[in-house]
């Protein structure tokens, strides 16, 4: 290898170092912050955190939505169909990102059952993306949710209460991922942002592709 080529490679490495150095610093900050938060909240009952974990698990949500679809009214069917399609999109995008990024989970993650090989990877949090997708989709579909609740004899303002409770649940479930040691803080934030984007995509696709007005 010539001196010129070695110089070129060194210059390229030097030019790339600022971004890689910044990434390493961000990862270090995220790792330290996540460990700090995990340690501070160790007194929180693990049974509560595990309950939140199960409530946001895809192995819980998919069977529930599939079971309710044939029994639902037209309004409820549209909502459940959107939740199902968005959850499938979430499964695809989270799996793709985990495969591409391949960030290991925290070393203090204990007692986790892995459903898929990709569950070994941490970024982004699939629980966070799923629960924030659900909350954001229901918020965008609040008009349909309101009609559904009124059709069942409930008050119209019950839809706003449901959406607020679901957002509270999604925030608690996302936080539990760090407290359990399953994820780093940045994993959870990225998952939450991804879930909001998935909700927007699903909501607009339901209107444009399927002609469903939610």
Secondary structure class of 72 (helix, strand, coil): coil
- Rounded Cα distance, 131 and 170, in Å: 5
Q: Which pLDDT tens digit goes with each residue over 113-124? A: 654 545 788 999
Nearest CA to 128 out of 65, 179, 84, 163 is that of 179
Taking CA atoms, 207 is separated from 30, 65, 73, 114, 126, in Å, by 39, 20, 18, 36, 26
Nearest CA to 79 out of 155, 161, 157, 162 is that of 162
Contact 75, 148 (CB under 8 A): yes
Catalytic residue positions? Answer: 127, 183
Q: Report whether pLDDT(90) > 90.
A: yes
- Rounded Cα distance, 143 and 159, in Å: 8
Query: Where do runs of H (alpha helix) occur along 41-179?
Result: 46-55, 58-68, 74-101, 126-140, 142-151, 158-179
Nearest CA to 138 out of 65, 60, 59, 58 is that of 65
Q: Report whether pLDDT(4) > 80.
A: no
Instruction: Indicate the average pLDDT of the chain.
Output: 84
pTM of the model: 0.84
Q: Which pLDDT tens digit goes with each residue over 9-50? A: 434 444 445 677 888 999 999 999 999 999 999 999 999 999
């Amino acid at each position: 290898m010539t001196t010129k080529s070695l110089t070129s490679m060194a210059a390229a490495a030097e030019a790339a170092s600022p971004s890689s150095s910044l990434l390493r610093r961000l990862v270090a900050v995220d790792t330290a912050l996540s460990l700090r938060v995990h340690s501070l909240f160790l007194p929180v009952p693990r049974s509560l955190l595990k309950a939140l974990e199960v409530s946001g698990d895809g192995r819980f949500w998919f069977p529930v939505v599939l079971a309710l679809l044939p029994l639902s009214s037209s309004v409820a069917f549209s909502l459940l169909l959107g939740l199902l399609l968005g959850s499938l999109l979430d499964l695809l995008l989270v799996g793709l990102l985990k495969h591409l990024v391949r960030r290991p989970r925290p070393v203090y993650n204990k007692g986790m059952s892995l459903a898929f090989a990709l569950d070994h990877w941490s970024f982004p949090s699939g629980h966070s993306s799923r629960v924030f997708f659900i909350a954001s989709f229901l918020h965008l579909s609040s008009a349909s949710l309101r009609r559904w609740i009124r059709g069942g004899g409930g008050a119209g303002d019950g839809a706003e209460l449901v959406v607020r409770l679901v957002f509270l649940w999604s925030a608690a479930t996302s936080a539990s991922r760090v407290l359990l040691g399953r994820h780093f803080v940045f994993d959870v934030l990225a998952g939450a942002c991804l879930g909001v984007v998935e909700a927007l995509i699903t909501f607009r696709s339901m209107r444009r592709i399927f002609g469903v007005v939610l």
